[in-house]
Amino acid sequence: MSMSVLRRVLLSPGLLILAVLVVAPITLMALESLRPFVGGRAGGTTGWTLRNYTELTQPAYAYYFWDTFRIGFIASAAALLLATPLAWQAARTTQPALRVLIFGLLISLLFMSLIAKLYAIQMTFGPTGPFAALGTLIGVPARSPQYAQVQVFIGLLHFVLPLATLMMIGTFQNISPRLEEAASSLGAPRWSVALSVTLPLAVPGLLAAFMIVFAACISNFVVPLILGRGVVLFATNLMYTRFSDIADYPSGAAIGVIMLVLAGTMVYAMTAIVRRLVPADVQR
């Protein structure tokens, strides 16, 4: 058995699985999204239509997408802001124990069940929780319907913070501490070194982290499902409701196709940005 045969043997099960279990189902979904909806029937209808898509341009539906992007964006921005000091500390500390402690915390959180975390957030920040007063503090009482948005925001933030921090640790570690030392030794105050030396060098990493975190937020399903209390629905939840409540499979498929296109665009934009900002020799 030669090397190339071995390679083919190792690759083919994976390629087969991807073709059968990813490409085929998504192709089928894309076709289904062009089918007319006949109440009470799942699939098997004939004829083609764009109605499932035109329907989604109505303001009522566009609002779900707007909610998804707005809350997702705010949560991602907050995650980046809060992750920066933590990632910085982990990347630059000289105490190994502190480093392992931060890593342990972050990886434990990544491995911890999201449902468990969301439940904990509901018990802490929810209307019955000890931190419910936070809502009153920011002008959105915990019992008001709008507070669902705050809770979804908190849930998303808690979900993506470990991810953002771990990615940013990587970014900061790959910025040479020598540059900061040089700037400091020339008399620049540390905050100005951070803003004028470290931050510009970290921009590509920060942008990449932001895009990944943002993508994770807007494609999330469980956080709005549990913390949204039916008031906040993301596009993902809308897709599920279409399927579970009224069995409108074609409309759900259309939402799925739109989400897929959005996700693809984001990945493309992310790679384009990173490619533009990072010189080619650093990438490899």
Partner 1 sequence: MTSTACASVAGDRLAGFLVRFLLIATVLFLVIPIAISGILSFDDREFIGPFPPTAFSLRWYRSFFENPSYISGLFVSLRLALLSAVISTVVGAGAAFALAETRWRARGLVEILFLSPRFIPTVVIGFSMLGFASAIHIFDAFTRLVMGHVVITIPFTVRATLAGLVGVRRGLSEAAISLGAPPWRAFLDATLPLARTGIIAGALMAFALSFDEVAVSIFLTDAFTQTLPIALVAEMRANLNLTVAAVATVFAIIAMLIVAVLDRVAGLDAIIGRGMYRE
In the three-class reduction of DSSP (H, G, I as helix; E, B as strand; rest coil), residue 62 is classed as helix
Q: Is 185 in the site for partner 1 (CB under 8 A)?
A: no
Residue partners of 62: CB distance under 8 A and separation at least 6: 56
Looking at the Cβ atoms of 166 and 206, the one nearer to partner 1 is: 166
Site string for partner 1, 186-225 (x = CB under 8 A): ---xxxx-x--------------------x---x-xx--x
DSSP calls for 145-175: TTHHHHHHHHHHHHHHHHHHHHHHHHHHHTS
Q: Supply the minimum distance, in Å, between the C-beta of residue 198 and partner 1.
A: 12
Stretch that binds partner 1, among 26-34, 57-65, 138-146, 196-204 (CB under 8 A): 26-34
Taking Cα atoms as reference points, which of 175, 173, 261, 167 lies closest to residue 210? 167
Query: Which member of 148, 166, 168, 183 binds partner 1 (CB under 8 A)?
Result: 166
Looking only at residues 48 through 67 of this chain, which bind partner 1 when binding is defined by CB under 8 A? Answer: none
Query: Which member of 173, 201, 207, 273 binds partner 1 (CB under 8 A)?
Result: 173
DSSP calls for 5-21: HHHHHHHHHHHHHHIII
Looking only at residues 241 through 260 of this chain, which bind partner 1 when binding is defined by CB under 8 A? Answer: 243, 249, 252-253, 256, 259-260
Looking at the Cβ atoms of 63 and 221, the one nearer to partner 1 is: 221
Looking at the Cβ atoms of 178 and 276, the one nearer to partner 1 is: 178
Site string for partner 1, 103-142 (x = CB under 8 A): xxx-xxx-xxxxxxxxxxxxxxx--xxxx-----------
Q: Is 82 in the site for partner 1 (CB under 8 A)?
A: yes
User: Which residue pairs, CB below 8 angstroms and at least 24 apart, start in 227-230?
Assistant: 227/118, 227/121, 227/122, 227/148, 227/151, 227/152, 227/154, 227/155, 228/148, 228/151, 228/152, 229/145, 229/148, 229/151, 230/148
Query: Which member of 99, 140, 141, 274 binds partner 1 (CB under 8 A)?
Result: 99
Taking Cα atoms as reference points, which of 161, 166, 159, 197 lies closest to residue 90? 166
Q: Is 43 in the site for partner 1 (CB under 8 A)?
A: yes
Q: Residue for token digits 């579970």?
A: 244
Are 51 and 251 spatial neighbours (Cβ–Cβ below 8 Å)? no
Stretch that binds partner 1, among 18-26, 57-65, 139-147, 196-204 (CB under 8 A): 18-26
Q: Give the whole-angstrom CA distance, residue 122 versus residue 148.
A: 10
Query: Which member of 8, 41, 70, 143 binds partner 1 (CB under 8 A)?
Result: 8
Looking at the Cβ atoms of 149 and 166, the one nearer to partner 1 is: 166
Site size toward partner 1, by CB under 8 A: 98
Query: Which member of 152, 169, 197, 208 binds partner 1 (CB under 8 A)?
Result: 169
